[in-house]
Structure 1
């Protein structure tokens, strides 16, 4: 970067930066300024690790004591997190990579289980385990889950192989190795590991751990099982943010911490032309030093020097593209002559206005060209060409699917304005939009794509699902109108349902019109009817499994008619497939425990989730709620326990108890109990559930249900055809500490 010592030149530089244009001024002395990373007088490097502000080495070098770094024998340590070793501080992604001890289990027993405690970050600690930059890995033979305060949030299982070792990262798909992602940012975690014996009788070592995505291959190749890198995201509080002066601009980011909670952090961002320096310092934005010579040559010829970030398919910066626009501005090689600007006011004003006009026009043209190329790249990557080919080959099957342009949806949603947000979930944000033809629609904009989703898009699975789902026509299913493929993650466009979600109607205390028992049974019947329709494959010839049935994905229209929405995780299954293996997907509290263990998804997994929805309607409690003793528990486990103790009606919602007869309520409880059976084969189909609910809705209590009352009230244990007490455990899966009786 060139040194500018004239106030007029400084003013011009600020004006160009407002349009994100890079302008270098050539003076008599061309000297480059080293990029700044820390506060003045503070140590930058500890060994070969750079420690940028807001972190710091020494007194008054960091933004707060949480960000202090100790440099001991050229190795940096972070006292705020148990003195773990610091490997890297990333300002762009707001993460710090640290080295933690790796714990593994190794015994010569057929089946063993152990609990492995991870790092526990204090409540006031500003660090979180990053959901995006880490993955949960299980190596060896067995199963493992990762838990947040005793609640399972992720897990995977491996199968034993008598030959060979763990494969490469790309083949870590279940044979002695499996991996999955965290559903949200964690403050603390623990792991449960169950090992299995290899064929042949020799004991096997098993390990379960979090590991940084970019470091996993390096760890496995090194063979060092002592330490393993993990990425922590750091959060800046309001007090800390007030001490920081960004050299460019600052933004607020929202971080999902699970169960509908989130936290907010401040973040400084680089200008478009900067890739060195530190945006958290007022003078930390530095230009590429190697660009001085080419920019100087451009300016000498009267051109405008510009740099633009070029992104790869994963939205990471791959290079900086240099361009020199002709007629950008005159050479400024004589600064002392320019000091007469105060005298030549009118002339200089015209020159500045002309220069700004050309700069802005160039910026608009280049920006539009870059955006157009990016839209085309996303369109091809997301399967747009496949959709066009299918439309040409079979217009009748794709005619119902409409392709929307990004500009069309931006106009419909006021550029995805916050005022248009209908709801925010784990998979993205839904906006209300008004199309040019007057239709009101809901536009789902998913969050940042992860690697597994990216592979899915590359394989064109997304296009196949959109084509199938667009053919689903049912009064209790939200109609999918089309999609936009010109963005990083495709946007889904569906019909707008006006009366909000079933979750809000049940759990918001301020609701003026609580749901009556009759309405709750009606809604349950309509949801069951829609799921039965999807499972049967009517209209599509291929069964569709929703995989995320929950009250927040059930919408109500003005007449309180239920409509199932959000098919972002749906999967269509051809009739010749007996089972499929997928990464565990769903929402904690609704997940089928059998699916969590086997990762084999089938229609009975949707039945389990519906059972939780039915219990939610009957009790008015959330799927994970806090008991009177302050403990968090799963609603399904609480309901099963009440059924076994014969006091289930006592946990029902007061309005449900006041409006229903005992026989009617026990019939609904028995139906929910059958849906929540631990073994999927013992659960009814959604069509059977629909018929039972329709019978209860029209004639209240079928006679065959009355025979089961004694069981519900605790007078008999063998009347109902439901799982035994051992199978109806209040935990979503068998404890690893209990001996197994199965082989």
Structure 2
């Protein structure tokens, strides 16, 4: 009996909390629908069905349709419990010029809203509402004189209809103004002194209203009589923030002994109002429903939308959910995945199949080791094929040898994995990349093309020879990588382009003087002469051309690209090789015999001299067949004694014709069809040195009648004679310059 009495007392007390009137809020006596609008508690449309008088609404029939009304004036469109807002229809205030009376008059409902006093649940939303003024000469104001004391203005002007823009409400035809918090009342007025018809014939009305900003988009058609008012049928949406206002905050509500705490559900939480004092109620996480009713917050079945992984299982529980995974996997909450349960798998596997797991792991690691060893053997085989062992032996015996054997990993790091942005150039023998070594030294790294078996066998020997070449006019080979299928070479970096670019290409605009070009040619000849005469054994370049003559910071020539180079053969069998090189520079005798000799380099160098003299490319792909080869054009001009026709104009303007003819004679003898008749590179270098000295001394006179029969085998087309009025630098009276000491006078 005592239990029943206590239960009855609880029911009475609970009902006393809910019922200001006669009905329990959650009972069937309370209607919760008016037309198409749901009326949730704490609101009510029947007596005693709301939390208090401020939450009372009426359900009226207008035009045959039921509509919920606030204060019998404002139609309620919807109510949000979670956001604490009510969306209502507010009235547009119009202000128009009356042609009949000649004065400005209001039309429509008088603009404003009266929410009662500070105890009212409602506040005008400062976040979602804007005071909107539309017109072409409109000045409207919004004020709250009895509450916050706020007064704001909206100004909308426009000179021409063309100034208006759809969607723009920045002052031209349309203006929007924010309002402060805590407003429960406002009124709107227009200034009568502004007469829209006096200036603008296309617009005689202005409009003002406080409305939901998100529901409005300005249209230029609104600048027309009643267009804005007609579009919205005189009313626009407005947002009211509502809350329980009898206390200042949640903390005060929970401590209030005399008032009624509105958050009745056991799974509800109190949230302070953001617009003036008061609080709202929300369901806690994992629950949804009406927090203002006992047991109004119901558990959410999160599993209905499957928040767990696709291969997992969701189990709903009160206030939340739990994810689980099938056997062998575990749920990882951080990234919401089912990951293999390594501990369980290992435990079961070791318990049941321990031996099998050990065997499998052993096989796996054994395969890894075998693959690694196989890769190392391949690298070692490449290293052996390319003569790496020979290189190491020599490097040990010659401790002063400045040569490095790089690993593939070092060169990959130096070139950003041979990135295309690092490419300096491409040729028939490989691609050259710019690299930075681990000591921060810039280098040129060349990935060679395919090499044959003979070259593989001799590669290490050739690297040793090339590494020992130390001449200022030959690019220094710093090292190589031999543990790859095709060797990679590492040269010093020569940054200033090539002689080809200086004559024909991107550096042509530098307008280098002819004397500089002559110096570069002489330096290149010195480099080739060193390879032919002083290297042991001698080296034949095999691809002499302007693009293989690099220029350093001071435009000093450096012979490069030994991709086609061979060591001077020790027997005739080694003479035979595949025809390689560059068209336009190839020795005709080599093309016929496939025998590469030092005189093949001389022929190619003769073509370089022609490029300097004529400024033309060695080979043209267009035009008559006889006009495609620069060598044939030049030799034909020399035969007809018409050298002037092929010389480039700026060369003729810089140097005497006699000097140019002397250089042309040198080129002609270099281009002799018979290699035996050509000079050696040392003789070519000496002759270029002599020609350079002739250009530097004003007391040298050129004599065209100099005998050169020993060179040309007949009459000379030109020559040089020196009259001594002094001695050139480096000579003495006992050793005067002898013009016939050159190749021309041998």
Q: TM-score range by the shorter chain?
A: 0.3 to 0.5
TM, length-normalised to structure 2: 0.45
Query: Considering only CA atoms, is the larger Rg found in Structure 1 or Structure 2?
Result: 2
TM, length-normalised to structure 1: 0.45
